[in-house]
Amino acid sequence: APRADDGHAPTLRIGDVATVQRRNTQHGAALQENVLLLDRPAHRGGDIVLVSTKNVFAPGASFGAYSATKAAAHQLARIASLEFAPLGVRVNAIAPGYITTGLTEPLWRDSEFDAWVTKRCPLGRWGTPEDIGWPAVFLASPAADYVTGQTLFVDGGWLAR
């Protein structure tokens, strides 16, 4: 079977894309519905931080459905920032690299894949949930009051290569 640069066989299937798309893009419709409720002077302002992925610009062949649907959050942050700016709502996204979570546990427990990630990542390690949490706090804080429509890549330098 053909192999991607990460050593995994391609897995992109229509059914997978549909399932992952529902999971990763439903927040778009919910976001618009909820923010439109803010169109009242007493409820103006706020911050929305979406979660995208570094795969927006560095996709893995065996993560096609995930990469494609998470790219929607990257674009949604840009579009929603324009639509919601008049309401005082800032919209940004965080794009993590490889993070040690329950979802990625099969990957970081795979010694070959773990070695590939740690060798490829300039910081030489997987990220942690805390590595994502602090940038989210920043984007939702007054320190980022002039930041909207942006995607902050928190990937240990992955995209710098």
Q: Are 55 and 11 in contact (CB under 8 A)?
A: no
HSE (side-chain half, CA atoms, 13 Å) at 29: 6
Question: Is the Cα torsion angle 71, 74, 76, 78 positive or negative in sign?
Answer: negative
Find the helix or strand (DSSP H, E) in which 50 lies: strand 46-51
Out of 63, 66, 84, 98, which one is annotated catalytic?
Answer: 66
Beta bridge partners of 90: 47
**In the annotation, is 98 catalytic?**
no
| Active site positions, annotated | 66
